[in-house]
Amino acid sequence: MRENESQVFSSNDLEKLFSSNTVILFRCDSKEGFPLLSVSENVKEILGFKSSYFLEGENRWSNRIHPDDKERVLHRFEQIVQQKQGIINEYRFKRKDGTYIWLRDELKLVKNNGDSSLIYGSSIDITERKKAELALKESKEQYQSVVDHIKDITYSINPDGEILFLNSSWEERTGYTVEETKGSSFWNYLHPEDIGSIEEMIEDLIKQRGESAKKVVRIRTKNGSYYWVDLYAKSLKRKTAEGLIVSGTISDVSDGLARLQERAAINKQLEKRVQQHSEDLREEIKKRRGVEKELNQRLRYEQALSKCSSLLLEHTNSGALEESLKILREVTQSDRVYISRNVEVGDKLCLEPLIEVTDQGTEIPKVKADQLVSYSEVPWWYQKLSNNEIINTRVDDLPDEEGVILQARDVNAVLVIPISIGEEWFGYIGFADNEKDHLWDKNEVRLLQTAADIISAYKKRKKIEKNLIEHKNYTEAILNSLPSIYLLVDEELDNVQWNASTKFFTGYSEEELAERSAYDLIVPEHHNRLTQAKEKIRNNEGGSFELTLLSKLGRKIPYYWRGYYIKLNNKHYYIWVGIDITRQKETEQALVDEKRFNEALVETLPGCFYMIDEEGQYQTWNQNLIDEFGYTDSELKELSPLALFSKSAQKKVVEFANKVFEDGEASVEVSCLTKTGQEIPYLLTGKLFRQEGKDYLLGVGHNITEQVEAREKLRKNEELFRNLFLQAPSAIVMVTPDNEIKDINRSFEKLFGYSIDEIKGKDIDKVLVPEGEREEAPTLPAKHNRMMASFHREAQRRAADGSLVDVFVASIPVVVDGKPIAGFGMYIDITEQKKYEEEIYSSLKEKHVLLQEIHHRVKNNLAVVSGLIQLQMYETDDEEVRDTLRESESRIQTMALIHEKLYKSQRLSEISCQSYIGDLLETIRSTNNTAKDITLEKKIDAVNLSINQAVPFALLINEVVTNAFKHAFKGQEEGNICITLQGDDNMVKLSIQDNGIGLPEDFKPRESDSLGMTLIYNFMDQLEADGEIGTDDGTYLNLTFEVQNVNGSSASSLLSSSYGM
């Protein structure tokens, strides 16, 4: 060794050796305490302390070793001195920030001058490796703990029956320890009669890899007794020396009493189910009888309502109302049925009894105004009825005011329904029971509400008729006061008396009218008509006619006359009242035009229009009916309407017509028959039309062939959907908008173990979702007033046996007109998938850690090689050798830099050029330390390369830039090197340009035998790059290559490229 080797490692020359490494190099004395003599400067990057901290203080290195490790570490140092051989130490060290990391020291004793020795060592960070080892250890301990706590025996054997594994339950159940049993034959612990069947089962499992089997056998205990067990076995393939193994469990089934008890419990449960089924049948019969009773009651009510409706429609006198109340009392079996109306007495609204029917007869109460009950005395009664609310209550449940009044009348229960005429509250109809103490059921209330509506319509009609009579009288008074012609004539039609309107419209004076007769006031062409009218009036054969008035000035005005033959003072006279009917004539013409329009409108209707009288004869029809059915007008006049329908449809048509004449309107779908015999489905609609006292059926028929076909198609689609739903391999549930289960398919029953009878009507979340997750679980249609759209996710759902099943859940809401009507939930069992995912994830994580460790170790080994080369540089004085070693060290550092970036990155398969080229250029600058002012200009795009391309690419840049530093700027004090990297469409473009002296004129790069140029072109070949090297205001390199993901190591590629392998 040279003299300067004894100097402290912080000298400028040795500082370069250690500053860029991740391996801490140190030297210490072999004397007691092992004081540190030198340490590399990169200790600050790894441990946080400068090297001076450990060199200037006593025991500062050993004092930061973990207390649990310190004694062992110092003891190992003593072993080096005693045994004089290298050792490896692994221990925890406290960094400056207070955290502990694991260090791995490789130590070697080296003799110094004389008899003294020094300890040389290198230290690397192995924290990540220790964490991985600890995690693996914990995982194994957890697995062993789980297996040991399983109640059943867990075992593994090889195909020959040798026991490879047993849990602690083996010792508990058999008395043999695991240690004495492991490695022995499994057959030794079976009953001799069972060994053959188990050997045969194991042999079958080995042949059918992955299959499982189960048998009931006898196991021998240490005391020599046997007990019955269920032996479950499954063949597995392991990556071990054993190859195929058989593993499984052994469960104690010797307790026969438990089986008998279990069977007894099952029989008891079956008996209970039979009993429950019988009770369900009795309950169903009871329900059906109740429904039958309800239907009979409804039929009686509807018949009563029909009678009331007919009475009140056909009659307007009070007798019809009285008879209707009798019908209602009889059908309801009420003691009293009454109607009260609202009347105003002063400023109070009171109740006035209008009519009352009891089992004794009818009473029309007459109560004086001052004796009427005011609504202010019964406020609760008023509040309910004025809000159109029905009162259905027992008298004992009424407020005091109302209860006292009804109790005074011996009423126990009452039903009161308000009656309104239009928007006006008229009063109410009441049903009272004096003896029964019950409430009217909902169906009765609904039907009696209809009765109230019928009475309301009756009262409304009476009010309208009264108004019409008043209006008619009012109209007659107006007509009498209008300026109509009034004329009194004798039997010869000579004028006797007239009104002012007669003078006005005829233009004659009093004297002139007195000298004229009625003939003088009528146009001559109507004189005969006047004479005929006179005779008809006299014979009481008619009293109205039309005659044209002739004025004095010759104006002709159409008039409508009304004549009366009267006797005054034993003489007969005629009274003539004439009204100008000019506008009526115009209206008649308009009506004629309207009639023609209506006839045209009927013809343009989109269906077949028809009008039938009560005798069942066609009265009119449109052209569409003729076109559709093929009959002529004359044929239709002779035909019965039933002739247009098939025999199977005629009964429905008759019922349809009867319903129209009874209820006012109806519709029916039937099969119609054309003249040629073709059957066509039709929708018939009909309404009752009354004209001149006769009833007619007006209707339209629409051809619904397309609708019928569409319905049939819909039915088939629904049947298809039902089959798809039930047979689907995925578990499917249908829920209501309230999230209640409506139906499930067979796959759902199989996956979760529920039947539809068990969960129908229940909330799907409460059935399947674990309790702690229900608030977070998305619902199928809606929850918390928020609309739920379709969703899919992975989740766990609880089966009928309480176990949790890993599933993929998807929801499909069914929305019609913006409202949810149902929802479908789909569940796919992903238990096996989750298991595989966990296994794959664990394997990938382990490989990721190992790959990081490999890159770390490669980088550390390259750093050690780089350090050795630097030491070798200081062993030689030959400058050419030093340059060669320095170039080799630079290349090694370039590869180490790649591996350092890789193990620090998340992605181990590729590296970003931006992340390492900058560091590479700075390393080259520091390695080629020069007094010249050389600037590096970098323009690097974000390009990712695999390690197979990144290594030769980095070595190529190292060679070119290093050559530029060494040769480009001879005779210059400053210079510039520009590196440009561009990535475009999977292509990489590299340009390196310096402004140095350039290449010699006769220099041919491809023919150069220098190692640098050879390596540059070999690296270009390895990258499959196209490029050139030349001179242009300095030396340049331009190359282009395609980004590739090449399998294999970069080192093997480099060797094959460089040496033709």
What is the rounded average pLDDT for all residues in the chain?
Answer: 80
Instruction: Report helix, strand or coil for 435.
Output: coil
For residue 186, pLDDT beyond 70: yes
pLDDT band at 965 (very low <50, low <70, confident <90, very high): confident
Asked which of 554-563, 580-589, 856-865, 938-947 is least confident by mean pLDDT, the reply is 856-865
Per-residue pLDDT at 516: 92
For residue 349, the number of C-alpha atoms closer than 13 Å in the C-beta half-sphere is 15
For residue 936, pLDDT beyond 50: yes
Q: Which residue has the higher pLDDT, 1060 or 746?
A: 746
Averaging pLDDT over each range in 125-139, 868-882, 963-977, which range is the top one? Answer: 963-977
- 1007 and 879 in a common domain: yes
For residue 146, pLDDT beyond 80: no
Q: What is the percentage of the chain residues whose pLDDT exceeds 90? A: 11
Mean local confidence (pLDDT), 70-91 = 85
Q: What tens digit of pLDDT does each residue of 369-407 get?
A: 678 888 988 899 899 989 989 999 988 888 988 888 888
Averaging pLDDT over each range in 254-263, 723-732, 778-787, which range is the top one? Answer: 723-732
The DSSP bridge pattern shows strands 933-940 and 974-984 to be: parallel
Per-residue pLDDT at 782: 45
Tally of structural domains, the chain: 7
Q: Which two tokens stand for residue 802?
A: 């309480």
704 in any annotated domain:
no
Per-residue pLDDT at 140: 58
Per-residue pLDDT at 9: 37
Q: How far is CA 429 from CA 304, 351, 375, 390, 453, in A?
A: 16, 12, 16, 10, 10
Domain boundary among 692, 720, 737: 692
Enclosing domain of residue 442: 299-470
- 682 and 729 in a common domain: no
Decide: residue 861, CB within 10 A, 0-12 exposed, 13-18 middle, 19+ buried: middle
With the CA atoms of 709, 710, 711 and 714 taken in that order, what torsion angle do they form, in degrees rounded to the nearest 10? 130
Q: Is residue 1037 within 8 Å of 1026, Cβ to Cβ?
A: no
Please count the residues of the chain.
Answer: 1061
Q: Is residue 529 within 8 Å of 517, Cβ to Cβ?
A: no
- 858 and 821 in a common domain: no
Mean local confidence (pLDDT), 780-808 = 69
Q: Which residue has the higher pLDDT, 193 or 1003?
A: 193
442 in any annotated domain:
yes
Domain boundary among 548, 582, 616: 582
- 1013 and 943 in a common domain: yes
Per-residue pLDDT at 473: 64
Strand segments (E) across 709-760: 731-735, 741-744
270 in any annotated domain:
no
Q: How far is CA 553 from CA 133, 513, 598, 904, in A?
A: 134, 14, 41, 126
Q: Phi/psi of residue 645, each to 5°?
A: -130, 150
- 176 and 227 in a common domain: yes
- 1011 and 911 in a common domain: yes
Q: How many CB atoms lie within 10 A of CB 728?
A: 14
Q: What tens digit of pLDDT does each residue of 1013-1028 get?
A: 888 888 888 888 999 8
Mean local confidence (pLDDT), 814-818 = 80
272 in any annotated domain:
no
Per-residue pLDDT at 13: 46
Per-residue pLDDT at 726: 76
pLDDT band at 148 (very low <50, low <70, confident <90, very high): low
- 746 and 850 in a common domain: no
Q: Which residue has the higher pLDDT, 728 or 901?
A: 728
Per-residue pLDDT at 1061: 27
Cβ neighbors of 33 (< 8 A, separation 6 or more) are 59, 62
How many angstroms separate the CA atoms of 964 and 976, rounded?
A: 10
- 743 and 881 in a common domain: no
- 552 and 631 in a common domain: no
563 in any annotated domain:
yes
How many angstroms separate the CA atoms of 452 and 459, rounded?
A: 10
Per-residue pLDDT at 901: 62
145 in any annotated domain:
no
Cβ neighbors of 936 (< 8 A, separation 6 or more) are 921, 922, 925, 977, 979
How many angstroms separate the CA atoms of 301 and 435, rounded?
A: 22
Could you tell me if residue 311 is left (phi over 0), alpha (psi between -120 and 50 degrees) or otherwise beta? alpha
pLDDT band at 171 (very low <50, low <70, confident <90, very high): confident
Q: What tens digit of pLDDT does each residue of 124-142 get?
A: 888 888 887 776 666 656 5
Query: What is the crossing angle of helices 913-927 and 879-904, to 10°?
Result: 160
Q: What tens digit of pLDDT does each residue of 399-428 get?
A: 988 888 888 888 888 999 999 887 889 999
- 433 and 333 in a common domain: yes
Per-residue three-class SS string for 247-301 = EEEEEECCCHHHHHHHHHHHHHHHHHHHHHHHHHHHHHHHHHHHHHHHHHHHHHH
| CA proximity to 948, closest of 795, 1056, 867 | 1056
Beta-bridge mates of residue 609? 700
Per-residue pLDDT at 15: 46
Q: Which two tokens stand for residue 1039?
A: 């190359």
For residue 808, pLDDT beyond 70: yes
For residue 519, pLDDT beyond 90: yes
Q: Which residue has the higher pLDDT, 730 or 859?
A: 730
With the CA atoms of 646, 647, 650 and 651 taken in that order, what torsion angle do they form, in degrees rounded to the nearest 10? -140
How many angstroms separate the CA atoms of 507 and 552, rounded?
A: 5
Instruction: Report helix, strand or coil for 180.
Output: helix
Decide: residue 865, CB within 10 A, 0-12 exposed, 13-18 middle, 19+ buried: middle
- 59 and 26 in a common domain: yes
Strand segments (E) across 482-522: 485-489, 495-498
Q: Which residue has the higher pLDDT, 254 or 547?
A: 547
Asked which of 144-153, 230-239, 546-555 is least confident by mean pLDDT, the reply is 144-153
For residue 3, pLDDT beyond 50: no
Q: What tens digit of pLDDT does each residue of 458-498 get?
A: 888 777 777 777 765 664 454 445 568 888 899 999 998 88
Q: Which residue has the higher pLDDT, 328 or 523?
A: 523
Cβ neighbors of 57 (< 8 A, separation 6 or more) are none
CATH number at 1027 reads 3.30.565.10
Q: What tens digit of pLDDT does each residue of 996-1051 get?
A: 988 888 888 877 777 778 888 888 888 889 998 988 889 999 999 998 865 444 43
For residue 436, pLDDT beyond 50: yes
Q: What is the percentage of the chain residues whose pLDDT exceeds 70? A: 82
Cβ neighbors of 546 (< 8 A, separation 6 or more) are 558, 559, 560, 561, 581
For residue 150, pLDDT beyond 80: no
- 942 and 850 in a common domain: yes
917 in any annotated domain:
yes
Q: What tens digit of pLDDT does each residue of 87-121 get?
A: 888 999 999 888 999 998 888 888 877 667 888 88
pLDDT band at 239 (very low <50, low <70, confident <90, very high): very low
Domain boundary among 254, 281, 314: 254
Q: What tens digit of pLDDT does each residue of 602-626 get?
A: 666 678 888 888 887 888 888 888 8
Q: Does the predicted TM-score (pTM) go above 0.85?
A: no
Q: Which two tokens stand for residue 546?
A: 């039309």
Per-residue pLDDT at 17: 45
780 in any annotated domain:
yes
CATH number at 240 reads 3.30.450.20
Q: How far is CA 774 from CA 454, 481, 574, 646, 764, in A?
A: 52, 84, 98, 60, 10
Per-residue three-class SS string for 874-922 = CCCCCHHHHHHHHHHHHHHHHHHHHHHHHHHCCCCCEEEHHHHHHHHHH
Per-residue pLDDT at 92: 93
Per-residue pLDDT at 679: 87
Q: Phi/psi of residue 825, each to 5°?
A: -115, 135
| CA proximity to 978, closest of 990, 965, 994 | 994
Mean local confidence (pLDDT), 254-280 = 64
